[in-house]
Amino acid sequence: MSLDQNAPAAPATDGTAYPHLMEPLDLGFITLRNRVVMGSMHTGMEDGYRNLDDLAEFYATRARGGVGLIVTGGFSPTAAGMLYPGASVMTLRRHARAHRPITEAAHAEGAAILLQLLHAGRYAYHPLSVSASRIKAPINPFTPFALRGGQVWDTIEAFARSARLAAQAGYDGVEIMGSEGYFINQFLAPRTNQRRDGWGGSAANRRRLAVEIVRAIRAQVGPDFVIQYRISLLDLVPDGQPWAEVLDLATALEDAGVTIFNTGIGWHEARVPTIVTSVPRGAFVDVTAQLTRHVGVPVAASNRINMPELAEAVLARGDADLVSMARPFLADPEWVVKAGGGRADEINTCIACNQACLDHTFTGRRASCLVNPRAGHEREVVLTSAPTPQRVAVVGAGPAGMATATALAERGHHVDLYEANDHLGGQFALAMKIPGKEEFAETVRYFTRRIELTGVRLHLGKQVTVADLAEGGFDQVVLASGVTPRVLDLPGIDHPCVMSYAELLSGAREAGQRVAVIGAGGIGVDVCEYLTHVGHPSLNIAEWKKEWGVADPARPPGGLTEPAPAPSPREVTLLQRKPTPIGKGLGKTTGWVHRAALAAKGVRLVRGATYHRIDDAGLHITRLDREGRSVEQVIPVDTIVVCAGQESRRDLLEGLQSAGVSAQLIGGADVAAELDAKRAIDQGVRWAAQL
Ligand code: FAD
Ligand code: NAP
Ligand code: SF4
Residue type at 392 in one-letter notation:
V
Coil/strand/helix, residue 352: coil
Q: Give the closest ligand to the alpha carbon of residue 610.
A: 2
Ligand 1 center from residue 680 Cα (angstroms): 9
- Ligand 2 pocket test: which of 586, 676, 682, 683 has the largest number of ligand atoms within 8 Å of its C-beta? 676
Distance of CA 397 to the CA centre of its chain: 24
Could you tell me which of 519, 494, 529 has the C-alpha nearest to residue 641? 519
Question: For residues 72 and 24, is the Cβ–Cβ distance under 8 A?
Answer: no
Burial class, 448, CB count within 10 angstroms (exposed 0-12 / middle 13-18 / buried 19+)? middle
pLDDT score of 5? 34
Protein residue with its CA nearest to atom 6 in ligand 3: 327
**Domain spans of the chain?**
32-304, 391-485+647-690, 498-533+568-644
Read off the pLDDT of residues 129-156 as tens digits, 9 standing for 90 and up. Answer: 999 999 999 999 999 999 999 999 999 9
Active-site residue, selected from the candidate residues 123, 171, 182, 446: 182
Question: For residues 315 and 21, is the Cβ–Cβ distance under 8 A?
Answer: yes
Read off the pLDDT of residues 272-323 as tens digits, 9 standing for 90 and up. Answer: 999 999 999 999 999 999 999 999 999 999 999 999 999 999 999 999 999 9
In whole angstroms, give the CA distance from residue 294 to residue 243.
12
Protein residue with its CA nearest to atom 22 in ligand 2: 644
Residue 348 Cβ contacting ligand 3 at under 6 Å: no
In whole angstroms, give the CA distance from residue 208 to residue 484.
59
Q: Which residues pair with 232 in a beta bridge?
A: 264
Q: Which atom of ligand 2 is nearest to the CA of 489?
A: 18
Residue 398 Cβ contacting ligand 1 at under 6 Å: yes
In this predicted structure, the answer to whether residue 87 has a pLDDT above a threshold of 70 is yes
Read off the pLDDT of residues 560-619 as tens digits, 9 standing for 90 and up. Answer: 999 999 999 999 999 999 989 998 889 989 999 999 999 999 999 999 999 999 999 999
Alpha helices per DSSP H over 135-202: 149-168, 183-188
Q: 135-171 as b/e, with b when 16 or more CB fall inside 10 Å?
A: bebeebeeebbbbeeeebeebbbbbbbbbbbbbebbb
Q: 361-378 as b/e, with b when 16 or more CB fall inside 10 Å?
A: bbeeebbbbbbbbbbbbb
In this predicted structure, the answer to whether residue 15 has a pLDDT above a threshold of 70 is no
Cα separation values, 435 from 148, 333, 537, 684, Å: 49, 28, 7, 28
Read off the pLDDT of residues 238-265 as tens digits, 9 standing for 90 and up. Answer: 999 999 999 999 999 999 999 999 999 9
In whole angstroms, give the CA distance from residue 408 to residue 688.
5
Left if phi > 0, otherwise alpha if psi is -120 to 50, otherwise beta: which for 72? beta
Mean pLDDT of 25-33: 97
In whole angstroms, give the CA distance from residue 221 to residue 164.
6
Residue 447 Cβ contacting ligand 1 at under 6 Å: no
- Ligand 2 pocket test: which of 360, 489, 577 has the largest number of ligand atoms within 8 Å of its C-beta? 577
pLDDT score of 6? 36
- Ligand 3 pocket test: which of 274, 277, 278, 354 has the largest number of ligand atoms within 8 Å of its C-beta? 354
Higher pLDDT, 527 or 363: 527
Residue 681 Cβ contacting ligand 3 at under 6 Å: no
Residues 498-533+568-644: name the CATH superfamily: FAD/NAD(P)-binding domain (3.50.50.60)
Residue 38 Cβ contacting ligand 3 at under 6 Å: no
**Strands 457-460 and 498-500: what pairing?**
unpaired
Residue 353 Cβ contacting ligand 3 at under 6 Å: yes
Ligand 3 center from residue 326 Cα (angstroms): 10
Cβ neighbours of residue 689 closer than 8 Å, sequence gap 6 or more:
381, 382, 383, 407, 411
Protein residue with its CA nearest to atom 8 in ligand 1: 426
pLDDT category, 555, cuts 50, 70, 90? confident
pLDDT score of 191? 97
Q: Is 182 one of the catalytic residues?
A: yes
Higher pLDDT, 558 or 638: 638
Q: Which atom of ligand 3 is nearest to the CA of 327?
A: 6
In whole angstroms, give the CA distance from residue 298 to residue 279.
25
CA triple 111-117-118, angle to 5 deg: 130
Protein residue with its CA nearest to atom 8 in ligand 3: 350
Q: Which CATH topology does 391-485+647-690 take?
A: Rossmann fold (3.40.50)
Give phi and psi for 525, each to the nearest 5. -65, -45
pLDDT score of 16? 67
Residue 416 Cβ contacting ligand 1 at under 6 Å: no
In this predicted structure, the answer to whether residue 2 has a pLDDT above a threshold of 50 is no
Question: For residues 113 and 107, is the Cβ–Cβ distance under 8 A?
Answer: yes
Could you tell me which of 654, 656, 614, 658 has the C-alpha nearest to residue 636? 614
Residue 323 Cβ contacting ligand 3 at under 6 Å: no
Q: Which atom of ligand 2 is nearest to the CA of 580?
A: 47
Distance of CA 462 to the CA centre of its chain: 34
Q: Give the closest ligand to the alpha carbon of residue 668.
A: 1
pLDDT category, 627, cuts 50, 70, 90? confident
Q: Give the closest ligand to the alpha carbon of residue 351.
A: 3
In whole angstroms, give the CA distance from residue 355 to residue 678.
7
Question: What DSSP element (H or E) covers 656?
Answer: helix 653-658
Read off the pLDDT of residues 542-551 as tens digits, 9 standing for 90 and up. Answer: 999 999 999 9
Ligand 1 center from residue 669 Cα (angstroms): 9
Q: Which residues pair with 622 in a beta bridge?
A: 610, 632
Residue 678 Cβ contacting ligand 1 at under 6 Å: yes
In whole angstroms, give the CA distance from residue 360 to residue 58.
17
pLDDT score of 1? 38
Q: 298-334 as b/e, with b when 16 or more CB fall inside 10 Å?
A: bbbbbbbbbbbbbbbbbbeeebbbbbbbbbbbbbbbb
Mean pLDDT of 515-541: 94
Could you tell me which of 107, 49, 114, 679 has the C-alpha nearest to residue 427? 679
Mean pLDDT of 215-224: 97
Mean pLDDT, the chain, integer:
94
pLDDT score of 625? 81
Protein residue with its CA nearest to atom 3 in ligand 3: 369
pLDDT score of 257? 98
pLDDT category, 660, cuts 50, 70, 90? very high
C-beta atoms surrounding 475 within 10 Å: 13
Ligand 1 center from residue 209 Cα (angstroms): 51
In this predicted structure, the answer to whether residue 649 has a pLDDT above a threshold of 90 is yes
- Ligand 2 pocket test: which of 504, 576, 623 has the largest number of ligand atoms within 8 Å of its C-beta? 576
End-to-end CA distance of the chain: 35
Residue 308 Cβ contacting ligand 1 at under 6 Å: no
This prediction has a pTM of: 0.94
In this predicted structure, the answer to whether residue 12 has a pLDDT above a threshold of 90 is no
Could you tell me which of 634, 48, 587, 33 has the C-alpha nearest to residue 360? 587
pLDDT score of 7? 36
Protein residue with its CA nearest to atom 36 in ligand 2: 522
Residues 32-304: name the CATH superfamily: Aldolase class I (3.20.20.70)
